[in-house]
Structure 1
């Protein structure tokens, strides 16, 4: 690979890291002063995502709540599930006020192996936070 391509990749990587650090610092500041708003974590008008997983046998249900202004791609969640050995059975979303509610139900491709829900949870946290 030519050195200028490597340099371009490195620059892009550093820019992404800088953006992530800025977002995390904003979130940190918001969480520091969050004691007075009744537990609803918000960042300005942005709602911080909420993620939960429920595992029943070889079925895994992913519930995600985000703000409307969150740039979120449903196909990225589907991709994580697929890579972890799950097949999406159904996916739905609904809007209420400034929130978007996602529900994705998946089934283990190989029922004997199942789905490592803790690993899925960690990967999805990295994706949405």
Structure 2
């Protein structure tokens, strides 16, 4: 399982967008929500070494990377949710589809989960991995100035 985790996260973040340079740090849930709801681009940087595994099946990892938030949803309890999905290959050269889900609560707490499916069968590969993070600890948000 560790081999699969390292492979999947390595592939996941190898091409991910990383927030850097001339960006404004969004240090609170309110700042992230305000930037998104006013149409500003928002990038998120993930450092899973600062997050805690949320299940017994999820190993610790030092994986880092990021994405640009393309779409999002705010639920009735105030949770900000967004996701990413992409096709890639595993270390054995076989095609897979990764689904990444981010859920950020108004108190700044967050969950990051990943599910992987074999292609073309779409059968689940392994178990979902889940990490508990928070804004400023494992998740950092940025918006261009």
TM-score, normalising length: structure 2: 0.27
Q: Which of these two proteins has the greater Rg computed from alpha carbons?
A: 1
Higher relative helix content = 1
User: Which structure's relative contact order is higher, taking Cα pairs within 8 Å and 6+ residues apart?
Assistant: 2
